[in-house]
């Protein structure tokens, strides 16, 4: 008997809400939203999403795609230039569309400059999403002769390399 009173009171309340001021309860809004979405596994709006698709969407939302491609280039440098050249050089920085590559010696930097067009082609094949227009091959850093806080300004030692 108490269930009959509950049903009558619930029905009266819902009809009052619907007819008096057009407001709907939270539960009614949720049911209508789920009804429009579909409840079966293959209804519209319930398409399957693979892990790779969801990761690509996540990387796109946070703009991580370019950073991942850049990191992939730095990790796979030997696939672009070959193992011997990779032992003598490494990508140091990517500024816009210019790749800066540090070489072990000036001779290696000169050799790599001669192969720049080949390296650009290989780079486009291995990493098609990465846009690189120019590669700057630079030699090793020169040693610093400035030692200590009280160094004297000037040209430094001139007779070192005989």
pLDDT digits (tens, 9 = 90+) for 145-160: 677 777 777 766 666 5
In the beta sheet, which residues pair with residue 134?
98
Residues 106-118 pLDDT 10s: 999 999 999 999 9
Contacts of 102 (CB under 8 A, 6+ apart): 89, 90, 91, 92, 138, 139, 140
Nearest to 126 by CA among 80, 162, 81: 80
Q: In the chain, what are the domain boundaries?
A: 65-138
Nearest to 108 by CA among 85, 76, 83: 85
Report the CATH number of the 65-138 domain.
3.30.300.180
């Amino acid at each position: 008997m108490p269930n009959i009173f509950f049903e009558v009171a619930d029905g009266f309340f819902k009809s009052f809400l619907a007819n008096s001021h057009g407001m709907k309860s939270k539960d009614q809004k949720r049911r209508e939203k789920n009804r429009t979405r579909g409840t079966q596994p293959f209804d519209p709006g319930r398409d399957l999403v693979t892990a790779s698709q969801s990761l690509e969407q996540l990387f796109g939302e946070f703009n991580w795609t370019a950073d991942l491609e850049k990191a992939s280039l730095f990790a796979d440098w030997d696939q672009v230039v070959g193992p011997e050249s990779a032992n003598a050089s490494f990508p140091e920085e990517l500024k816009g569309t210019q790749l800066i590559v540090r070489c072990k010696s000036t001779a290696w930097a000169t050799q790599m400059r001669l192969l720049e067009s080949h390296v650009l082609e290989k780079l486009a094949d291995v990493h098609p999403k990465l846009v690189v227009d120019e590669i700057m091959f630079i030699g090793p850093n020169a040693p610093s002769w400035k030692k200590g806080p009280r160094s004297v300004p000037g040209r430094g030692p001139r007779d070192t390399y005989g």
